[in-house]
Amino acid sequence: MPNLLDYTQPELRDLMQSWDQPAYRGDQLYSWLHKDLATNPEQMTNLPKALRTRLAAETTLNPLQLVVQVDSKDRLTRKALFRLADGNTIEVVLMLYNQRRTVCISTQVGCGMGCTFCATAQGGLRRNLSAGEIIAQVHWFERWLRQEGGKADGLRVERPSRISNVVVMGMGEPLANYEPLFKALRAITDPDNFALSARSITVSTVGLVPMIDRMADEDLPVGLAVSLHAASNRLRGKLVPINRTYPVESLIAACHRYQQKTRRRITFEYALMRGINDSIEQAQQLADLLVGLRSHVNLIPLNPIPDSPYQPTSPEDAASFQQVLQAAGVPATMRLRRGIEINAGCGQLRQAMQQSDVIPLLTEP
């Protein structure tokens, strides 16, 4: 069944006209979907009853079925696993740090980039998500936040409230699914409907250079986060295979071009792996690479995954690495491995479920 969240507003107008309805029904429908976050045509009280019945019979409004959701012990992270219409599953995370309500969304089922330290990479790419499947992840947590009575529901967040930030850093390489992603981002930044600021959105990439340039030409100044993890081609080529196609120099040059066009500071993600990429020399190499770029480095002690040779850097070595960057004038923060006890590393909840771990099933909002 077609997912109505896959349609832009003009496409919904066309759909309504093809159903012998006036075009403005498409505008009403779009508003119900993207402003009121309706999940059932029966909620759309300004549409004729016969149209609501047909919508219910021939379309879907919500492509996500909740399988499980799990809260971290500090009650600042909630991770949800959803089943899609074809039976595949994806992960979405709500994070409540720094006065923000940030949702981390997925763009693909699995990932084809093959990063050697990543849980998602292990299963390969199954398929791209559609725009509607991406939008629905944001809507799901927004719906939950808009509802009252949050204090009784586990997480440390006041409700009603709204999502303040979206990070596109879940399963998949976002820029390998470019059109659906940007269709989704345009929907959630539509000022007349969902109305999230583009400046509150960050898109992560492992370094697809032509797509970074394409992003720079979009009239949508979202933040760019680059999963770097190594400053030399020799090491990065081993950790992040796409580096063999787009080496470090071409990636950093694309970052400069992105910054020139969007004026946005660029974030670099660097997962610290013991004895692999965490030496003082490698920190200096990283600092040298980022000279002249307005940047920020997020240092992340690696989330260990089962059967992996990679282990997290010790807190002492991580602090030394950070000090080298800061001394060189490169802002660097250590991201806490929050949520680790709920398998909140990329792809890990899904993987744990496939291994039949028992996780409680909670209810839909």
- Please report, as ranges, the residues that interact with ligand SF4 according to CB under 6 A: 111, 113-115, 118, 120-121, 171-173, 206, 227, 346
Residue 227 or residue 322: which is nearer to ligand SF4 going by CB?
Answer: 227
Q: Which amino acid is at 244?
A: R
Residue 346 token pair? 């990329």
Query: Are the C-beta atoms of residues 303 and 346 closer than 8 Å to each other?
Result: yes
Q: How far is the CB of 343 from ligand SF4 (least distance, A)?
A: 15
- Residue of 86, 122, 92 lying closest to 106 (CA atoms): 92
Q: How far is the CB of 118 from ligand SF4 (least distance, A)?
A: 3
Quickly list H helices, the chain: 9-18, 24-34, 49-58, 131-146, 178-188, 209-216, 233-239, 248-262, 280-289, 315-327, 348-354
Catalytic pick from 11, 42, 91, 179?
Answer: 91
Q: How far is the CB of 227 from ligand SF4 (least distance, A)?
A: 6
Residue 66 token pair? 């909740």
H helix or E strand, kind and range, residue 110: strand 108-110
Please enumerate in sequence order all residues whose Cβ is within 8 A of that of 23, keeping only pairs 6 or more positions apart, or say none.
Answer: 13, 14, 16, 17
Instruction: Work out the burial of residue 192: count CB atoms within 10 Å of its CB; fewer than 13 is exposed, 13-18 middle, 19 or more buried.
Output: exposed
Query: Are the C-beta atoms of residues 190 and 160 closer than 8 Å to each other?
Result: no
Residue 31 or residue 233: which is nearer to ligand SF4 going by CB?
Answer: 233
Residue 118 or residue 222: which is nearer to ligand SF4 going by CB?
Answer: 118
Q: Is 133 a catalytic residue?
A: no
Residue 6 or residue 173: which is nearer to ligand SF4 going by CB?
Answer: 173
Q: How far is the CB of 38 from ligand SF4 (least distance, A)?
A: 32
- Residue of 77, 149, 144, 145 lying closest to 363 (CA atoms): 144
Q: How far is the CB of 75 from ligand SF4 (least distance, A)?
A: 26
- State the Cα torsion 77-182-180-365 to the nearest 10°: 30
Q: How far is the CB of 220 from ligand SF4 (least distance, A)?
A: 21
Residue 117 or residue 144: which is nearer to ligand SF4 going by CB?
Answer: 117
Catalytic pick from 104, 118, 255, 346?
Answer: 346
Q: Does a cis peptide bond (omega within 30 degrees of 0) precede residue 301?
A: no
Residue 63 or residue 347: which is nearer to ligand SF4 going by CB?
Answer: 347
Q: Is 346 a catalytic residue?
A: yes
- 244 to 209, 235, 240, 249, 350: CA distances (angstroms): 12, 11, 8, 11, 29
Q: Which residues are catalytic?
A: 91, 346
